[in-house]
Amino acid sequence: MFISNPFAELSASVPPTVMQAYVVVMAFLVAAGTLFDIVHKKSATYFFDSWRNSTNKAKQQVGGREMVAIAVQTAVVDVMASGEFCNMRRRVAHLLTMYGFVIYVVTTVIMVFAYPTPATPTPASLPTLWYIGALMVCLGGYWFWFFIRVDVAAEGNSPFRFVRADLFIVSLVLSVTFGLVWACVQATGNIAWAYVFLALYLLTTTVLFGSIPWSKFSHMFFKPAAALEKRVAEANGTRSNLPAPADAPAIYGSVPRQTRHY
């Protein structure tokens, strides 16, 4: 099962072109939703204005070589290692979800477009990576949802309490969960239940990628820019007005700063 391409098996009842068109539509929703979010919330305007103000008030100039070093440091520490999270449990959960999602999406795209039918045998490593990526998302996502969220861990609220800001993480873990269940049920040959979980998989995936203007999905694109602006502001001697990292020590007040959401 873990070396079988579930999308190639699905091609017996759903044409590969339909699957490929669905992936293209989801990619379009990501691009359109992110652009809408940028325009609606004026995120790009905020960062460009902040960058310009930081440059104008700079006490020392940041050279090209130093700028490259700052960009590399931002990519490695803030993006790849999620250095913004001072709490190790939050960081590990975030990294599991982030890298799992990247593996899951990349292998999905490769299998749907390059190996859409059994006629083009899929390398065993691709489905294996797909399952590993999906399991990483579930592990990181459910760990965060039930045990790490501030309102659950610190405020004692029900882990099933849901608000609009939770839309991203909930739709993500449900989409991947239903995808895993669908692939496993399909492998057993239970066609009726396979279609049920396929429908749930498609529904939650559409919600995940179609709800970007109202969820926190687009934050994954904003956060690297914010981290870079903060490091440049520190390097040129100006003070960034960006908030302190999540779970930072209590140097900004009497209570440690915490953020509730992922």
Mean pLDDT throughout 128-145? 95
SS (H, E, C) 103-128: HHHHHHHHHHHHCCCCCCCCCCHHHH
Q: What is the pLDDT of residues 175-199, one digit of tens each?
A: 999 999 999 999 999 999 999 999 9
Task: At 94, give phi and psi (nearest 5°).
Answer: -65, -45
Cα 230 from Cα 235, distance rounded (Å): 9
Q: What is the pLDDT of residues 46-74, one digit of tens each?
A: 666 666 776 667 677 777 778 788 778 77
Binned at pLDDT 50, 70 and 90, residue 262 comes out as very low
Q: What is the pLDDT of residue 77?
A: 76
